[in-house]
Structure formats: C-alpha cells, structure tokens
Amino acid sequence: MIERRDQESIVNYLADASNFKGNCEKVLVPASKDEVKEAIIEAAAKNIPVTFSGAGTGLTGGRVPLGGWVISTEKLNRIIDIDTSNKTAAVEPGLLLSDFHAAISKIGLYYPPDPTEQNSTIGGNFATNASGAKSYKYGPTRSFIESAEIILPSGETFFLPQTKNCGNLLSMKSSSGKEYNIPVDDISMPEVKNASGYYIKRGMRDIDLFIGSEGTLGFVSEISLRLMDIPNEVISAVIFFESDINALDFIDDLRSLRNRNISINPSALEFFDKNSLEFLREDFPGIPNDALAAVWLENDCYNSDPDKVTDVLISFCEKHKANLSGSWFASDAKDRNKFQTFRHAVSYKVSEFISSKNMLKVGTDTAVPVQFFRKFLNDSINLVSGNEIRYVLYGHFGDCHMHLNMLPENQDQLRIAREIYSDIIDSAIEAGGTVSAEHGIGKIKKDYLLRMYGFESIKKMAYIKKILDSENLFGRGNIFTDLMFE
Ligand SMILES: Cc1cc2nc3c(=O)[nH]c(=O)nc-3n(C[C@H](O)[C@H](O)[C@H](O)COP(=O)(O)OP(=O)(O)OC[C@H]3O[C@@H](n4cnc5c(N)ncnc54)[C@H](O)[C@@H]3O)c2cc1C
C-alpha cells in the first residue's frame, strides 16, 4: 500500500473545492479492499481518526481531514462488472464518473446522475448522495444504488441491502455474523430534494442510511448501480430571455407539467441569472447582449417524438417571450456537449474564483417547496443585491434548488457574505426547505444543519453513528459538532 507522509505529496488531500483546509499525519492509498480493511483495523486499534478521500471535488470540506489518516480511493478505480441484460454495473468507489459514463455509453447504456463535476468519484457520489441537472427527472444517486459493500471501523463488512423495508428497526448482520440493530425513529425530513444529514425514514432500505452519510458511518468498498438504456434522442437547448420573470414563468409552466404524460418532459431544467451570463460571456461570446436570464433544458426522448417535443418547446418559448432567434438549439451531440459545458462552466468559475482569492466558498445549496420558491428567491436577491458583493445566481430551478454564490473580494466582504448566507438559510428553513439539497453538510454547514433539524433530531443521528462507530473515528468533523456527538 502506498503511504504518503511528506508535505508536498499530501498537500493535495488537505482541501477540497470548498477551499476548506485541514491537516493529517499520512495518506494511505490502498489498491484493494483487503488493504482498506487492514488500514482501518490498524487505525481503530490505535484510536486514530480516518477520513476517506475521493477526488476532492466536494464543496463542504467532507474529505478534508482534521488530523489522523486519510484513505484515498484513487487506486480503487475499476469497473468490476457490467451486466447488460439486467442493466447493472458493479464498480469500485474510486472510479471517476467520466470514465464510467464513457465506458457504458459505448455499449448503449446510460447512468443519469450527473453532479456537474465529471471528475468526481462514484464513491464520493454515494457518500454525498450527489445530484445534478438530470436529478430533476431521475432523482439523485440514491435512486440508482442497487447494493453496496460497507466496511465498518471494526473492519467488519456489510453487504446491503439486507432489508428493503426496515419498518422501525434496521437489523443488519456483518459478514462475521455480528448483528447491529438500529432504531429508525423518524426525523421530519423536508419534502424537497435533500442531502442534509442522515436519511432516516420508516420503511427505508438499510442501504439508504449509508448513502449520503458523508464518510461518517462506513467505507463504501463496492457499489452496484442501476443503469438505463441511452435515450433514442435528446433535445437540448439554451434559451435566452430579456426578463428574468419570463424565464422563471417558463420554468414554472414546464414544471407544472412534470411527469404528466404529455409531449415534453425535461430531464434537466436549469436557470442562470444575468450575473451568471456576464460571468460566462468571455468564454461564450454567443450569449446575446440583451439577455437577462437563460434556461438550459434537456429532454430525453424514449417514446416521445423529438419533432413534437421541439414544437412544444418552441410554443412555450413563444408564450414566455424568449429570444428565439438568439437561443441555442442543439443539432447534434457536439452541440449538446457544448451546452453542458456552458452549464458546468459557471460552477467551475466560482470554484476558480474562490481559490484565486483564497476564500472559503459562500454559496447556497438550498431547495424549498415549490409554493414558496418565488418568494424565497426574491427575498434572497433582495438580501444580496443591497450591497457591493458580486454574486451569481443559478441552479436546478426545476427542483426549486438555488445556488447563490457570493464572490467576496476581501475579509470584510466575506463577513457580510456569511451574514447574508445565514439569513438566506433561515428563510429556507422557515419555508420548510433544506440547507443542502445536494452537496451535503461536511465541515462547513453543521451549524445550519442544527438550525434545520434541531438538537433532538441531530442527537438521533449521532446515536446511530455511535452504534456503528462508537469512537467517532470515521469522517470526524463531518455533519456533527463534538457537542452533538457527546
Ligand atoms: C464545479 C463543481 C460543480 C459541482 N456540481 C455538483 C452538482 O451539480 N451536484 C452535486 O451533487 N455535487 C456537485 N459538486 C460537488 C461534488 O462534485 C460532489 O459532492 C461529489 O459527489 C464529490 O465526489 P468526490 O469524489 O470528489 O468526493 P470527495 O470530495 O473526495 O468526498 C466527498 C465525501 O465523500 C466521502 N467519501 C469519498 N469516498 C468515500 C468512500 N469510498 N466511502 C465513504 N465515504 C467516502 C468523503 O469522506 C467526503 O465526506 C460540484 C463540485 C464542483 C467542484
């Protein structure tokens, strides 16, 4: 097993895309699950905390160690098996999403979870329950996890799911026969896209507890994923508007038809405000000068007629006064990729900006129930636009999921940005929404998780962690403050 100790070779593991920074004693790079187990057992015997590291594209400091050892999955990157008849694939956790997408698309298969950052790992996606543009239609990573192998701090292994509907007790047996009984005492999870804290719900699968648990309950050493056929055709467009209200009405109108059996059923429905378009203009000079908002939309065609989808789309554009002549409609896969790059570019540029300023990311990942979304959005814009801090606002608006990223230039602006962030979180919670719809809590959003769920619910989560990881060795500092874990 590779062991890295010198500062130069471990520095890359001491931050993630949030720019949160940490430290560790050493980084271990196992090449097999037996080596992972060996390292975990040794760490537990010495009472040393362990942080798991995927590709480090996380946005909440989840893979950033606060001391102890790091176990990196970079050498656990194989596709173990693809079963084309059952449409499933078994993979190692360090496999990059881009490599997986490339391999399965060659054989006509499709894996919808698309957390923008193609350089993330499947293990990281599992641990954060990553979402992305296509989650609008297909749901988050959770919806595509068939089974997984989990290694506990004791080195014992679970193969899950063992129960598909656990009622109010999760009863799991490790491969050595040890039984773990975990009470499922419902917490009231918001009725929106959500990646905040543990998933705890009566009737859940046992594996659901581990998906999105941010490396705090177990190391995921093998994952089996559900696949789909590639759609016959994909309609893709970036539609520009001269008014943000029109763009938002356009999205509302399409959302109101969601999953009803009509000719248009987008798989992705994403919004960009005027600041995002300005932010991108240098790289994408084709953005019309008078554009004040844009919507990127994809529609996978399985049974639907692509011409009909396009006709319906154009009628929606006309109804909401889109700039039809300036909008972009894909005519082939190359165009589609360009539009996806356009969507991805805004998040990349935010990450680039914060790391160039050496600032911690101050960006919302909130989703709220649809009936409160427009008010929440307006209130958030009012909060941020009354001062000099630059910001870009975009996101998965089909899911009422908003990324408002502030771009502070100095420490004073950073302080104000944090205050604004805190106020936005309060109004998301008040509206029955979530602190994190997809990035997770990690080390930088714990206080907000506490506001969202309250102490009693967090204690229920911490109680579960104690059953599986009594010494709080895995993912220390993620999700829970020390106080919550006492
Ligand atoms: C430009 C940009 C755009 C992004 N867009 C999106 C988006 O649209 N949607 C979205 O959901 N996310 C998005 N992200 C966030 C990020 O890509 C996801 O959170 C991703 O799932 C992280 O994967 P990773 O491999 O980089 O994990 P890391 O950052 O390395 O780790 C994330 C967490 O997973 C844990 N972990 C990793 N491997 C394992 C394992 N084998 N067992 C147990 N725990 C493990 C880590 O300890 C950590 O807590 C974006 C990030 C960037 C930089």
Q: Please give the number of the atom of ligand 1 that sits closest to the Cα of 347.
A: 1
Residue 484 φ/ψ, nearest 5 degrees: -65, -25
- Ligand 1 midpoint to CA 348 (Å): 14
From 52, 360, 441, the mutation candidate for ligand 1 (largest count of ligand atoms within 8 A of CB) is 52
- Ligand 1 midpoint to CA 62 (Å): 8
| 128 Cβ below 6 A of ligand 1 | yes
- Ligand 1 midpoint to CA 91 (Å): 16
- Ligand 1 midpoint to CA 98 (Å): 13
Q: How far is residue 75's CA from residue 423's CA, in Å, rounded to a whole number? A: 42
From 13, 16, 33, 63, the mutation candidate for ligand 1 (largest count of ligand atoms within 8 A of CB) is 63
- Rounded to 10 degrees, the C-alpha dihedral 23/217/54/399 comes to -120
Mind listing the pLDDT tens digit for each residue in 318-348? 999 999 999 999 989 999 999 999 999 999 9
| 227 Cβ below 6 A of ligand 1 | no
- Rounded to 10 degrees, the C-alpha dihedral 195/481/389/356 comes to -90
pLDDT for 67: 96
Model confidence at 214, in pLDDT bands (50, 70, 90)? Answer: very high
- Ligand 1 midpoint to CA 120 (Å): 6
Residue owning the nearest CA to atom 10 of ligand 1? 115
From 128, 346, 351, the mutation candidate for ligand 1 (largest count of ligand atoms within 8 A of CB) is 128
Residue owning the nearest CA to atom 13 of ligand 1? 115
Compute CA 443 distance to the chain's CA centroid, rounded to the nearest angstrom: 15
| Ranges of CATH 3.40.462.10 domains, the chain | 233-430
pLDDT for 486: 67
- Ligand 1 midpoint to CA 18 (Å): 11
| 316 Cβ below 6 A of ligand 1 | no
Model confidence at 283, in pLDDT bands (50, 70, 90)? Answer: very high
Cβ-contact 269, 297 below 8 angstroms: yes
CATH code of domain 79-229: 3.30.465.10
Q: What is the DSSP letter of 241?
A: E
| Ranges of CATH 3.30.465.10 domains, the chain | 79-229
- Ligand 1 midpoint to CA 170 (Å): 26
- Ligand 1 midpoint to CA 118 (Å): 10
Residue owning the nearest CA to atom 36 of ligand 1? 124
| 478 Cβ below 6 A of ligand 1 | yes
| Ranges of CATH 3.30.43.10 domains, the chain | 2-72
Mind listing the pLDDT tens digit for each residue in 449-485? 999 999 989 999 999 999 999 999 999 999 998 777 6
CATH code of domain 2-72: 3.30.43.10
| 72 Cβ below 6 A of ligand 1 | no
Burial class (CB in 10 A: 0-12, 13-18, 19+), 315: exposed
| 117 Cβ below 6 A of ligand 1 | yes
| 30 Cβ below 6 A of ligand 1 | no
**What is the mean pLDDT of the segment spanning 395-419?**
95
- Ligand 1 midpoint to CA 127 (Å): 7
Residue owning the nearest CA to atom 44 of ligand 1? 215
Cβ-contact 446, 462 below 8 angstroms: no
Q: How far is residue 177's CA from residue 179's CA, in Å, rounded to a whole number? A: 6
Model confidence at 261, in pLDDT bands (50, 70, 90)? Answer: low
- Ligand 1 midpoint to CA 51 (Å): 13
pLDDT for 257: 86
CATH code of domain 233-430: 3.40.462.10
Sole residue written with tokens 């078994």? 90
Q: Please give the number of the atom of ligand 1 that sits closest to the Cα of 131.
A: 11
Residue owning the nearest CA to atom 6 of ligand 1? 115
Mind listing the pLDDT tens digit for each residue in 105-122? 999 999 999 887 889 999
Q: How far is residue 63's CA from residue 56's CA, in Å, rounded to a whole number? A: 6
Tokens coding 255: 């959302």
Q: How far is residue 280's CA from residue 165's CA, in Å, rounded to a whole number? A: 46
pLDDT for 185: 82
| 56 Cβ below 6 A of ligand 1 | yes
Q: Please give the number of the atom of ligand 1 that sits closest to the Cα of 16.
A: 29
- Ligand 1 midpoint to CA 355 (Å): 17
Mind listing the pLDDT tens digit for each residue in 149-205? 999 999 999 999 888 777 888 999 999 999 999 988 878 899 999 999 999 988 899
Average pLDDT, rounded, for the chain: 94
| 93 Cβ below 6 A of ligand 1 | yes
| 215 Cβ below 6 A of ligand 1 | yes
Lowest mean pLDDT among 37-51, 83-97, 121-135, 182-196: 182-196
| 59 Cβ below 6 A of ligand 1 | yes
